[in-house]
Chain A
Amino acid sequence: MRDNAGTTVSLVYLARLRETFGAASERAEIPPGVNNVGSLRAWLATRGGAWATELAPGRAVRVAVNHDLAGADTPIADGDEVALFPPVTGG
């Protein structure tokens, strides 16, 4: 990747979050400094509305990076698939 290229990720929203965000997925160019799950969540929350409500600190949101469950410190890189979803309820 070129040093000056933007970082673009695929965002996936599932279950209740897909409904409240009104989208199943999007490609997003993330700003410099947004480099892990915690900072991505905080950046998305600045969109306001449902984003601010659902992604507010303390709300239970699970995140997977490239299909693995991730924590707030998990790094995010160009081309990653990042999924946001409520706590799971299968079984």
Chain B
Amino acid sequence: MPVRVQTEDFDAGRELAALRSGDCSVGAVAAFIGTVRDVNADASVSSMTLEHYPGMTEKALSDIVAEAKARWDIVDALVIHRVGALKPADQIVLVGVTSAHRGEAFAACEFIIDYLKTRAPFWKKEDTAAGARWVDARTSDDDAAARWQNPAKPAT
């Protein structure tokens, strides 16, 4: 279960190919890519900086992937998250999940990004015309993560 935190960009196609490389038990690959928007909370965003908590970040991501593997019958999962300076349209995060069938891959991929957004120690600081500002957490992200707290209840 590769988990990486890096300043460099990533090649999603290459990463997903490596994730399923040579494994003929894989019949489905689901992926999520998060990118930088140029507008947030009614302000134009010219650039942003992503900060994290080295030491905890990798552990938090590994724990989330382990939880996904415990909940769904998936083959493997991958998380790459960038830190440092980013511009609009840049890639921020890649989540990839492989499984025999699509249902598990879709569900586990959505679970991983929902939990990442509420549990992994990353923070965004945006540069706008009015100056730099820390991005506020969204209650909608808490709601998205809370959907998964009862594993018997599928997300809708």
Residues of A within 8 A of B (CB): 12, 14-16, 60, 64, 67-69, 83, 85-91
Contact = CB atoms under 8 A, between A and B. Distances in A.
B10 to A, nearest CB: 15
A60 B60 CA distance: 20
Among B53, B59, B116, B120, max chain A CB count under 10 A is at B53
Contacts of B137: 60, 86-89
Contacts of B60: 67, 69
Interface string B59-73: 110000000000000
Contacts of B51: 14-15
21 contacts: A12-B53, A14-B53, A14-B121, A15-B123, A15-B134, A64-B53, A64-B121, A67-B53, A67-B59, A68-B56, A68-B59, A69-B60, A83-B56, A83-B121, A85-B53, A87-B136, A88-B123, A89-B122, A90-B50, A90-B122, A90-B123
A90 B57 CA distance: 11
A62 to B, nearest CB: 8
A14 B54 CA distance: 11
- Please tell me the size bucket of the interface on B: 20 to 34
Contacts of B59: 67-68
Given A14-B51, A15-B51, A91 B123 contact: no
Given A85-B121, A86-B123, 17 more contacts: A12-B53, A14-B53, A15-B51, A15-B125, A64-B121, A67-B55, A67-B60, A68-B59, A83-B53, A86-B137, A87-B137, A88-B121, A88-B137, A89-B136, A90-B122, A91-B122, A91-B141
A88 B118 contact: yes
Contacts of A14: 51, 53, 121, 123
Contacts of B2: none
| Of A68, A86, A91, most B-chain CB atoms within 10 Å | A91
A50 to B, nearest CB: 14
Contacts of A88: 117-123, 137
Nearest to A14: B53
B16 interface: no
B52 interface: yes
Contacts of B34: 91
B45 interface: no
A18 B125 CA distance: 13
